[in-house]
Chains A and B, each alone.
Chain A
Amino acid sequence: MRYGALLILLSGLVALLFCASLLIGPAALGFGESVQALLSGKGEAAVLVMREIRLPRALLGVMLGASLGLSGAAMQGYLRNPLAEPGLIGVSSSAALGAVLALQTGLAAAFALALPLMALAGAVISVLLLLMLAGPRGSSLTLILAGIAVSAFAGALTSLVLNLSPNPYAAAEIVFWMLGSLSDRSFTHVWLALPFMAAGAALLATLARGLDALTLGEDAAQALGISLSRLRLVLVAGVAASIGAGVAVAGAVGFIGLVVPHLLRPLVGARPGRLLAASALGGAAMLLAADIAVRLITPDRDLKLGVLTALVGAPLFLHLIYKTRREGL
């Protein structure tokens, strides 16, 4: 398939799922009523539901999914390893730790931007730690082992902080931070995450050429004028901004960054540079689909997004490990 056609197709899919997301919810609104409420009118209950509850949820779905798909594709391109995914290697759980600290210390209440900033700081620390542990060309084994360790440690600290919280509801929310959910998010969260996600996406988009060059090997890439240290810096900043902001508002949704690049890689001729834009769109589509499924399966409870993405992603992960082993990487 031609690259342009693929991007158009994926954009169409995202647009379709975005509209579906707007039309699904516990308040039984008709199609005409929903559209009318969304586009015009003020003060009525239906307008409130469409503009203040469903629209921010659908927008966050697109933003979060795109960030996850893009970050996964960028990390896999840089490490030349199909197992690199923000959730699996502990970046998301570290961002969650930062976010939980911001919320429970009261920092986020005093200064709203502290929430995404602390999550971003958590993500930066974990990415740097992983790159240090796994090396520039992370072998699968060290990368996954380092990821497990970082993930377990950040997860344990998150649980500890939430258990120590004076708030009786906080401990029950460990599951939110580990699996993620978009329920009852508002425009406050959209505006909080948007600048960071946009900056992250802009940074990661500049990596396309470098990542393509890197497929020829590090020496060849340097010969082509790619600065590897700059590439790494941009990658760390881009991934941390995207994942940090996403986790801060919606928790850690796993496996999207793994599944989407894997599915799309053959369709872009295995070029990591092209995979970036395609994965962003594919990630948005997958997250929207998961968020719609969550609402259809259990309309009256908050089933976590990570449950669905893991049900799809974990078998694929096992398949990738098996394939990696067979290839003797």
Chain B
Amino acid sequence: MSACARTSKRIPVLIAALSILLGAALPASAAPKRVVSLNVCTDQLAMMLAEPGQLVSVSFLARDPRSSAMADQAQAYPVNHGLAEEVFELQPDLVLAGTYSSRGAVMMLRRLGIEVIEFPPENGLDGVRRNLTRMGQALGQETRAAALLTAFETDLAALRADPPRRPRVALYGPNGYTTGDDTLAGAILATAGFDNIAAEAGLPGGGTLPLEQLVMLQPDLIITGTRYEGSSRAEALLDHPALTDLAAMPRVRATGGAWVCGTPHLLDAVREMVDLRREMETGQ
């Protein structure tokens, strides 16, 4: 037992020593050559940072504008569905995944000896900085990552606002789910100069907000998710007359792919919200 533990403790040291030696001998191995991404957020970070030919496949969600801010760019890449078999067939030397997505595939790919780097879902602006730096390192594109990070900070500083009167917003999604402050959407709102009513409703971490309570809170603005095709009761809730018909209720806006991931594209959502707030201010 103890011998085993001692050996297993030494293994990482050995690997590190080996990789330094190999790295010195073969400098090109620092940057992976065939990268496959399984998660809509790593898809976008990789598309922003990879050099031509380095990224060989992105997830199918990357082409869906409801969850991806780079749906157009993703058209240029073959898509995968996060299945171990199809990914292995692409013979990647690096796989990018989310910590909660495609668990089975990630475990299988690791057993097959493929390196998998996982990115956790982010809940704030710091996550964007962390993601950019980490993805830069993973792809061996540190310079590009640093440039994007600088641009992100500049744009963010220009957009960040603290207006005298912060409109109260409800993020109200299918099934009456409201998103709390400690999320990407919460960070977008706070940066753009809005207050999220989730905290007022006693749901600082987000949760189901009954329609009655939403009506009683009377937010200045309601932001809903983008609709999918087909039909569901979950989304039909957003057509309830108590939300839509009444003049007392404010306008309702839908979110898009820019709200989903901790990438610099999140600033598009901030920009949209800042514009909306200005529009609301001049309207009053």
Interface residues of A (CB under 8 A from B): 25-27, 43-46, 48-49, 52-54, 103-104, 106, 108-109, 165-170, 172-173, 176, 184, 186-188, 299-301
Total B residues in contact with A, Cβ cutoff 8 Å? 29
A49 / chain B contacts, CB cutoff of 8 Å: 212, 215-216, 242
Does the CB pair A27–B213 fall under 8 Å? yes
**Closest residue of B by beta carbon distance from A46:** B216
**A113 shortest CB reach to chain B, Å:** 16
Chain B nearest CB, measured from A165 CB (Å)? 4
B211 sits at the interface (CB 8 A):
yes
- Provide the residues of chain A in CB contact with B104, threshold 8 Å: none
| Cα(A44)–Cα(B215), bound, Å | 9
Is there a chain A Cβ closer than 8 Å to B100's Cβ? no
Contact between A27 and B232, CB atoms less than 8 A apart: no
Given contacts A172-B234, A173-B234, are A167 and B208 in contact (CB under 8 A)? no
Chain A residues positioned under 8 Å from B228 (CB to CB)? 166-169
Q: What CA separation (Å) do A39 and B237 show in the bound complex?
A: 25
Q: Is B220 an interface residue (CB 8 A)?
A: no
Report the separation of the CA atoms of residues A165 and B230 in the bound assembly, to the nearest whole angstrom.
Answer: 6
A48 near B248: Cβ-Cβ < 8 Å: yes
Q: Is the Cβ of B248 less than 8 Å from the Cβ of A43?
A: yes
Minimum C-beta distance from A307 to chain B (A):
17
| Beta-carbon contact of B233 and A108 below 8 Å | no
* Contact partners of A106 in chain B: CB under 8 A: 231
CA distance A45 to B215 in the complex (A): 6
B233 lies within 8 A of A27 (CB): no
Interface residues as binary, B210-233 with A (CB distance below 8 Å gives 1, 0 otherwise)? 111101111000000000111111
**In the complex the two chains form, is B231's CB within 8 Å of A103's CB?**
yes
Give residues 83-114 of B contacting A (CB, 8 Å): none
CB distance from B194 to the nearest CB of A (A): 20
Of all chain B residues, the one with the shortest Cβ separation from A164 is: B230
Residues in A whose Cβ lies below 8 Å from that of B240: 52-53, 184, 186
Given A49-B212, A165-B232, 7 more pairs with CB closer than 8 A: A52-B246, A103-B230, A166-B228, A169-B174, A169-B232, A170-B232, A301-B208
A52 in contact with B210 (CB, 8 Å): no
Identify which of A43, A104, A186, A188 contacts B247 (C-beta below 8 A).
Answer: A43
Of residues A44, A49, A170, A184, which shows the largest number of chain B Cβ atoms within 10 Å of its Cβ?
Answer: A184
> Is B176 interfacial (CB-CB < 8 Å)?
yes
Ordered nearest first, which 3 A-B pairs have the shortest CB separation? A167-B230, A169-B234, A27-B212
Contacts of B207 in A (CB 8 A): 300
Q: Which residues of A contact B235 (CB under 8 A)?
A: 167, 169
Is there an interface contact between B215 and A184, defined as CB atoms closer than 8 Å? no
What string of 1s and 0s marks CB contacts (under 8 Å) between B163-185 and chain A? 00000000000111000000000
Nearest CB of A to B247, in Å = 7
- Check A25–B210 contact: CB distance below 8 A: yes
- Which listed residue, A48, A170, A176, A301, touches B231 by the CB 8 Å rule? A170
7 sample A-B contacts, Cβ–Cβ < 8 Å, listed by A number: A27-B210, A45-B215, A48-B242, A103-B230, A106-B231, A167-B229, A188-B241
Q: How far is the CB of A280 from chain B (nearest CB, A)?
A: 27
Residues of B within 8 A of A53 (CB): 211-212, 215, 240, 242
Do A166 and B246 have beta carbons less than 8 Å apart? Answer: no
Closest B-chain residue to A103, C-beta based? B231
Question: A103 CA to B216 CA in the complex, in Å?
Answer: 30
| CB-based contact B230/A170 at 8 Å | yes
Docked Cα-Cα span, A27 to B216, in Å, equals 7
Q: How far is the CB of A44 from chain B (nearest CB, A)?
A: 8
Q: Give every chain B residue within 8 A of A166 (Cβ-Cβ).
A: 228-230
Please, how many angstroms separate the alpha-carbon atoms of A300 and B241 in the complex? 21
Contact present for B176 and A184 (CB under 8 Å): yes
Q: How far is the CA of A173 from the CA of B240 in the complex (A)?
A: 18
Measured CB to CB, the nearest residue on chain A to B173 is A169
> What's the nearest-Cβ distance from chain A to residue B222, in Å?
13
Instruction: Report chain B residues within 8 Å CB of A184.
Output: 176, 211, 237, 240
Question: In the complex, are the beta carbons of A104 and B176 less than 8 A apart?
Answer: no
- Among A48, A49, A52, A170, the most chain B Cβ lie within 10 Å of the Cβ of A48
CB of B197 to closest CB in A, whole Å: 13
The residues of B that contact A167 with a CB separation of less than 8 Å are 228-232, 235
B218 with A45: CB separation less than 8 A: yes
